[in-house]
Amino acid sequence: MSSLPTTYDPVQDPPRDAVIETRGLTAYFGDKCVVDQLSLRVPRGSVFAFLGRNGSGKTTTIRMLLGLLPPTRGASAVLGCDSRALTPAVLARVGYMSESHSLFDWMTVRQSGEFASRFYPRWQQRIFDSIVGHFRLSPGSKAGRLSRGERAGLSLAITLAPQPELLILDDPALGLDPVARRSLLESMIYVTRGAERTIFFSSHLLDDVERVADHVAVLDRSVLRASGSIETIRAGVRQFVLRFDTPHAPPALPPIRGLLHARQLEHEVRLVIAAPDDDTQRVIRSLGASAVDEVPVSFADAMIGYLGDRGQQGFFLDDAVFEPAGGAT
Amino acid sequence: MPLTISILTGTNVSIYRQIVEQVCAAALAGRIQDDEALPSVRTLAEELVVNPNTVARAYSELAREGVIESRPGRGMFVSRRRQIYSGAERRRRMEQAVTSLVAEGFMLGYTPADIVELVEARTRERPSTTSSKPPNKGGAR
C-alpha cells in the first residue's frame, strides 16, 4: 500500500481509459443465447486476448462491437462511441480483420493495397509494404492465388496501413503455418510501438497469447468467466496435488468454490482452482490426503482449466478478486 | 558475450519471471559488463517477440531488486553494487539451490560426505570476489 514504485509499472499503475466497453451485452439467435450479459472493459494500450472455444460467442461479440449485428439486450461502445451509431470517422480509427479475410480475388497484392488506400486518409504505404515484405508476398500475385497464411498477411497489411488506434482481429492466426504465425506475432508487437494503440484479438493459440497479450478474457459457452491482466489471471489460478496412501481411495469431491478442473489418478487428485481462499484450503485439508502440495500451473493449463468441460460454472475471476500485489515482499 | 535470453511458453514460469531470472543470472555470472547497456524495453520485446509491458515489468522488478539501474539518458545498466537480493529472498534462493543439489546428489547415489567434498572443491576453484555479508534478517527493503 505504501510502496512507491520508482519506475513505470504497467501492471500497478492505474488503469487507462477503455477503448472497448460492453455492459450486459447479450445476443440471442432465435431462442439460443449466444452471448450472455457480457460486461467487458478493454484498456487503451493493451494487447487483449479474447479466448473461448469454438461457438462460445467470440465472433458474435466482435460483430456486435462493430455494429454489424444489433444486440438483443445491453450495449457496447468502441472508442467512446455507441456500437449502434458508429460514424465513418470513428470506424476509420478501427482496423478490423475478420476470420474470412475479405479480399478481392481478382486484384493483385499491389492493387489490393491501392484500392484500400483510397478509403483511408491516414494510409501509410510504408507500413503496407513492410508487412507485405514481412510475409514475403510478391506485389504482382493475385489475391485469389495466395495461400491461407499469405492471405492473412495481405489482410493484415491492409488493416495496419491506415494506422488504426484500435485493432480488432478475429482469430488472425487461424490456419497459419508456424512461420506465418511468427510473422503475425512480430507484426502485433510492432503495432504496439504506438503506445496508445490497442489490439483486441481472439485466438486459440495459448502459447502465442502468453507471448503477446497483457490482458485476457475468457468466454465459456456464452458467459464471461475471467477477465483481467495476464499476471492477475495467472496468479489467481492455482493447482494442488493431493496424495492418498494406498488403502484409501481418493474420496468423492465435495463442491469446491472456484474449481476449474479436477483430475483423479490412482493415488492422486489434482485440483485446479481459481482464487482459492481460506475456505477452499479448509475443504482441501478435510479430504484426508496424506500430503497436499501446491504445484505451479502454466498459463496454458490455467486457461484450459477455464475452457475445459469439468469446471464448475458460475465463478468469475477478475482483477478485483485480488488485492493489488503489494510489491515483492 | 552478449546477453541472450530465451523464452519458453507453456511452462510453469511466466515470461516476466523468465526475463528477471535470466538477466539476474547473466549479471551474477558477469556475462553483462558494468559499462554495457541492456537492450531497451522495445528492442528486447521485439527480439523476444513478447509484449513490451512484460519486459517493462521485468526491468522494473530488476531495478527494484537493485540488479539493474537506470543511468539517465543512457539506458539500463547492471548495478555496480551487486546487492542483488535482500535477506529473505537471498536465503530462499540459496535453499532452493541447495535442495536441488542435494536431491540430485542422492539420486545419483552420492553420500552426504561426497556431496560436501564436491561443493568444497568447487568453491575453492572459484574464490568469492564479492564480500560475503551474512543476510540481514528482516530488512527486506
Record the pTM: 0.79
Q: Which of A189, A298, A299 sits opposite B49 (nearest CB)?
A: A189
Q: Which of B15, B89, B140 sits opposite A211 (nearest CB)?
A: B15
The residues, any chain, with a CB within 8 Å of residue A62's CB and separated by 6 or more, are: A50, A96, A168, A170, A202
Between chains, do A211 and B49 touch, taking CB under 8 Å as contact?
Answer: yes
Closest-approach residue (CA) in chain A for B68 = A7
Task: For chain A of 329 residues, list the mean pLDDT of each consecutive stretch of 10.
Answer: 36 65 94 93 93 90 95 94 92 89 89 92 91 91 90 92 93 88 90 85 92 92 87 86 76 80 82 86 84 88 76 53 42
What is the pLDDT, as a whole number, of residue A324?
42
Q: How far is A29 from chain B (nearest CA, A)?
A: 36
ipTM over the 0.95 cut-off: no
- Residue A239 bridge partners (DSSP): A272, A295
**Residues from chain B contacting residue A238 (CB–CB below 8 Å):** none
Quick count: other Cβ atoms within 10 Å of Cβ A129? 15
Q: Tell how far CA A35 is from the center of its chain.
A: 16
> CA–CA separation, A161 vs A116, rounded Å?
9
Q: Which of A216, A232, A231 is nearest to A50 (CA)?
A: A216
Between chains, do B46 and A295 touch, taking CB under 8 Å as contact?
Answer: no
**Residues from chain B contacting residue A6 (CB–CB below 8 Å):** 63-64
> CA–CA separation, B117 vs A255, rounded Å?
52
> CA–CA separation, B116 vs A272, rounded Å?
39
Average pLDDT, chain B: 81
Query: Per residue in A104-113, pLDDT tens?
Result: 999 999 999 9
What is the pLDDT, as a whole number, of residue B83?
57
> CA–CA separation, A229 vs B1, rounded Å?
35
Tell me the DSSP string of A152-167: HHHHHHHHHTT--SEE
**Cβ of residue B15 closer than 8 Å to a chain A Cβ:** yes
**Cβ of residue B22 closer than 8 Å to a chain A Cβ:** no
Q: Which of A8, A296, A327 sits opposite B56 (nearest CB)?
A: A8
As a whole-number percent, the residues of chain A with pLDDT over 70 amount to 87
Which string of b and e fits B70-88 if b means at least 16 CB within 10 Å?
Answer: eeeeeebbbbeeeebbbee
Q: Which of A207, A212, A298 sits opposite B12 (nearest CB)?
A: A298
Between chains, do B9 and A296 touch, taking CB under 8 Å as contact?
Answer: no
Between chains, do A5 and B13 touch, taking CB under 8 Å as contact?
Answer: no
> CA–CA separation, A308 vs A1, rounded Å?
36
Residues of chain B with pLDDT under 50: 1, 130-141
Query: Per residue in B1-20, pLDDT tens?
Result: 467 899 999 888 889 999 99
Polymer length in residues for chain B: 141
**Cβ of residue B110 closer than 8 Å to a chain A Cβ:** no
Q: Which of B49, B60, B89 sits opposite A7 (nearest CB)?
A: B60
